[in-house]
Structure 1
Amino acid sequence: MATSQNRTEKSEIAKHIFDEDGDFPAFFRFFDYLLQQYNWPGLRRQGRLTYRGIGDAVSLLKSSSHVTNNEAIQKLNNNNGTAPPNPNALDDLNLAVNMMIMVDCDPQKSHTLGFTIADYSPKSWKPEETYLDFVKRSFPADPKPSKRVQWSIKAWKLKEKLGVEFRPTDDLDKHLLYDSKDPPCVYLFHQVGFLKAQLKKYNETEMPLDLSVDECLESLINPVVRGSPPVRLLYETIHSLQWLLFHRVDNKSDAVLKELIGEKGFDPECANYEGYRRLEGDGFTYTYWGERIRKLEAALAKPPPRTKLGRWLQSQTSERNALFIALLALFISIFVGLLSVILAAVQTWIAWMAWKYPVK
């Protein structure tokens, strides 16, 4: 059960991140779990991690997006000389980044070296890299943004035609990631409450969608949105969930969504279509998620085999194997043709011998 101090700390950090005091149950459920892991009794640390300490790191990153990882740790550790050194400065900083942009900037703690999913590999915040550059590297803009969404990607189609399993992720950089391995799955960033709270700040200040990452993190235009993820990224993510995959008038996809919320732990806000605006329809383009959407469309257009035998046969039909099989078929055809000629000649010879030397 949450203590009064814990509730106060959560309220303070919600104001830091969302500029409002709210419950955000799915958001804090995830971070309560992370704090539990960090504060596990088996770990040797001089003090427990708290939301108050993470809040100090959030304030630092909001005030300076050009601070490097090393500089941020040093500043948090020194506390500007006003308090004892903070032995948990690194962990406070990592969790602060996770809270602000929903990206794990220290994936070695949760993934093995060389961990990948399809063509995705988690990124670490490098020691001499600025926070701004890390955010840009975590969410690269698509070099070929989609001109128009074809609206062929529906949740029920992905499930029925590709047999995918939808998996919730709290890492925004894994959104719409398609892993075709057995069993195939699509990762969906389900923290819609986080997306709506961040978008609310942009909506209330009527900020344009085409703001750069620099303008969003530094926001010299309006300090209210300073430190927030890129507005375009937020809109694309919620648009892909509530307009593309789980459109409110798509009953079959709605049934899939209800199952995900009830059984897979998806944020219930996924099914609440209120609280945001400016989600264009046919004219909406994807700058961040265009490539992943195109991969899903390609998979739907040419579904991979669903059985192990089918996947094995497909693996044997590369261009090289196809050429080998074609040549083998040619040689077999020639062999069969020669054999037919020989058999015909033998039959002709037998018939001629029977005619020349009839049996009396």
Structure 2
Amino acid sequence: MTGISIAVISLQALHTPSTSSLAKRADENRNGLYNVLWGWSFCDGCRYTGICTLVTCPGNRMPSLERYFGHYKELVCSYSHDLENHRMDAVVSSHEEIFHLIRVLKETPNITRGALAKQVFGNANNMGIESEQEHVIGLAVKALTMVYSTHWLNQNAEHDNGDLVSPNWLKDTPFHAFLEGLFPMIDHPGFGEDASASFWEMKSSITGSKLIRKGGLSFSPTEDLSNHLKLNRKTGVIEIFHHTAFLKENLRITRCMEGPMGVEGSLRLGALPRQLALEALDSIQKIIFPLSDPSAVTLLQRLVIEKGFDEDCLRFEASAIREPHETNTRYLYFGARLADIYDELENPTPRGLISRWAKRKGAGHANIATIIAVIIALIFGLVTLGLGGFQAWISWQQWKHPIEGPP
């Protein structure tokens, strides 16, 4: 297999069903996953027949989490295929072992990755085993927080559009500190203010339809929350973390909690910080794709069909997940990225040949229309000159070879 990376082989393997017991038994462990993540208690119908019989049972929300669970299965398959193609000494062989990792992360969010691996797996015998332990830990972290903590897992996620150089969770870094580093809080002027005049102006300017129509931008789904609202200026693509059902479950857990709660306290409940989850959800449903705007709903429906966005993005919920005062969200985590998108709309990055040429010559993007008009006028001038010359040639031919009338 010289010259072919393990990552490429594993990515190709995702396109065929995994034959490992871990991958094949994912569906029957769905209840266990939701129980360990969010403490779901199921009714007898869910446990024994798979049909929910109580209105208050959280099992009623399973259909809305279908896209999230599908991603979990992809992660499990990526691990299973790596074993089948390259390793036979699996670090884990059951979903319960993955659930145990999630429990430890929730109970001790200040644990380092090295200490976690030692506590759960014992001492590693070689570098290969240690690398596989990192992969399995990354799988548990991804299920709990929807962020990547290892480069290998990021490269092998089938539908990931995220940054392949995202940070690894280092061996001596506490888990909560790793997450705090991924999501720094920045009180950005405009989006960081609470319903200021500049906020409303900027917010109304960056709806999805305007970003497409005026900015020539497009949207791509990402499975990594830390990549949400990242703008690639070179390609004009904005990444959207689209697992809104996952965000809503996090908000249900932290609803009615007294006082602000940091990363460490939220993780003990099995949730992301409430402010972070609110910002991610509202930036989708209130700013980029405001569900009060029919054109935004149409655009979002198209992205669900064409780009694989989670259909739950189209469902707006309030009473079950929000506090009464949570109407206008301050953007302390994603304010800088929203401002970056707004700046791109105001000062577009040249991407086409003419745009780049105009930028290099100092003409500026605002004068591109003038340049195009000059080029069009030049083309019309050349065409007119050609027609004039052709007419002159016909007149000369008629003079030189007159057509004589009948005698």
Compute the TM-score of the two structures, normalised by the length of structure 1. Answer: 0.75
Change (3 A) 1:98 1:110: closer
Q: Once the 2 structures are TM-superposed, how far is the Cα of residue 228 of structure 1 from its aligned partner?
A: 1.4
- Aligned partners of 1:39 and 1:49 also within 8 Å: no
Letter matched to residue 267 of structure 1: D
Instruction: Give the match for residue 242 of structure 1.
Output: 285
Aligned equivalents of 2:244, 2:288: Cα separation in 1: 14
Partner deviation per Cα, 1:161-195 (whole Å, 9 max, x = no partner): 1222210011000000111113x100000001100
Instruction: Give the match for residue 37 of structure 1.
Output: 78
SS in 2 for 1:39: helix
Instruction: Give the match for residue 210 of structure 2.
Output: 157
Instruction: Give the match for residue 223 of structure 2.
Output: 170
Q: Once the 2 structures are TM-superposed, how far is the Cα of residue 303 of structure 1 from its aligned partner?
A: 2.7
Aligned equivalents of 2:230, 2:324: Cα separation in 1: 22
Instruction: Give the match for residue 94 of structure 1.
Output: 138
Q: Once the 2 structures are TM-superposed, how far is the Cα of residue 315 of structure 1 from its aligned partner?
A: 3.8
Q: Aligned runs of 1:341-360 on 2, under 5 Å?
A: none
Partner deviation per Cα, 1:187-245 (whole Å, 9 max, x = no partner): 00000110011111122xx0257322232224xxxxxxx23111110001101111111
Change (3 A) 1:37 1:121: closer
Aligned equivalents of 1:87, 1:307: Cα separation in 2: 43
Aligned equivalents of 1:296, 1:283: Cα separation in 2: 20
What is the number of residues matched between the two proteins? 300
Aligned equivalents of 2:67, 2:310: Cα separation in 1: 6
Q: Once the 2 structures are TM-superposed, how far is the Cα of residue 158 of structure 1 from its aligned partner?
A: 0.9
Aligned equivalents of 2:163, 2:134: Cα separation in 1: 29
Residue in structure 2 matching 1:262, options 282, 298, 305: 305
Aligned equivalents of 2:259, 2:348: Cα separation in 1: 35
Change (3 A) 1:193 1:27: same
Aligned equivalents of 2:132, 2:141: Cα separation in 1: 14
SS in 2 for 1:30: helix
Aligned equivalents of 1:269, 1:110: Cα separation in 2: 24
- Aligned partners of 1:78 and 1:86 also within 8 Å: no
- CA RMSD in angstroms comes to 3.1
Residue in structure 2 matching 1:193, options 245, 249, 268: 245
Greater shift after overlay, 206-215 or 272-281?
Answer: 272-281
Change (3 A) 1:299 1:46: same
SS in 2 for 1:42: helix
Partner deviation per Cα, 1:271-308 (whole Å, 9 max, x = no partner): 01125334868742111000001111111222334522
Aligned equivalents of 1:8, 1:49: Cα separation in 2: 15
Residue in structure 2 matching 1:28, options 61, 69, 85: 69
Residue in structure 1 matching 2:254, options 202, 208, 213: 202
Change (3 A) 1:118 1:167: closer
Letter matched to residue 124 of structure 1: N
Letter matched to residue 38 of structure 1: Y
Q: Once the 2 structures are TM-superposed, how far is the Cα of residue 71 of structure 1 from its aligned partner?
A: 0.5
SS in 1 for 2:221: strand
User: Whose Rg is larger?
Assistant: 1
Q: Once the 2 structures are TM-superposed, how far is the Cα of residue 68 of structure 1 from its aligned partner?
A: 0.6
Aligned equivalents of 2:187, 2:172: Cα separation in 1: 26
Change (3 A) 1:282 1:107: same
- Aligned partners of 2:147 and 2:224 also within 8 Å: yes
Aligned equivalents of 2:26, 2:153: Cα separation in 1: 25
Q: Once the 2 structures are TM-superposed, how far is the Cα of residue 318 of structure 1 from its aligned partner?
A: 9.9
Greater shift after overlay, 167-176 or 292-301?
Answer: 292-301
Compute the TM-score of the two structures, normalised by the length of structure 2. Answer: 0.67
Instruction: Give the match for residue 370 of structure 2.
Output: none
Instruction: Give the match for residue 266 of structure 2.
Output: 216
SS in 1 for 2:122: helix
Change (3 A) 1:154 1:269: same
Partner deviation per Cα, 1:7-35 (whole Å, 9 max, x = no partner): 34221111111222543211111111121
Aligned equivalents of 2:327, 2:74: Cα separation in 1: 39
- Aligned partners of 2:162 and 2:223 also within 8 Å: no
Letter matched to residue 28 of structure 1: F
Aligned equivalents of 2:242, 2:119: Cα separation in 1: 33
Q: Aligned runs of 1:1-360 on 2, under 5 Å?
A: 5-20=25-40, 22=59, 23=62, 24-40=65-81, 41-47=84-90, 49-78=93-122, 89-111=133-155, 121-144=165-188, 146-147=192-193, 148=195, 149-150=199-200, 151=203, 152-182=205-235, 184-203=236-255, 206-207=256-257, 210-218=260-268, 226-274=269-317, 275-278=320-323, 283-305=328-350, 307-317=352-362
Aligned equivalents of 2:131, 2:31: Cα separation in 1: 24
Partner deviation per Cα, 1:70-91 (whole Å, 9 max, x = no partner): 0000111139xxxxx9995433
Greater shift after overlay, 123-132 or 44-53?
Answer: 44-53
SS in 1 for 2:86: coil
Aligned equivalents of 2:280, 2:311: Cα separation in 1: 16
SS in 2 for 1:286: coil
Aligned equivalents of 1:59, 1:282: Cα separation in 2: 33
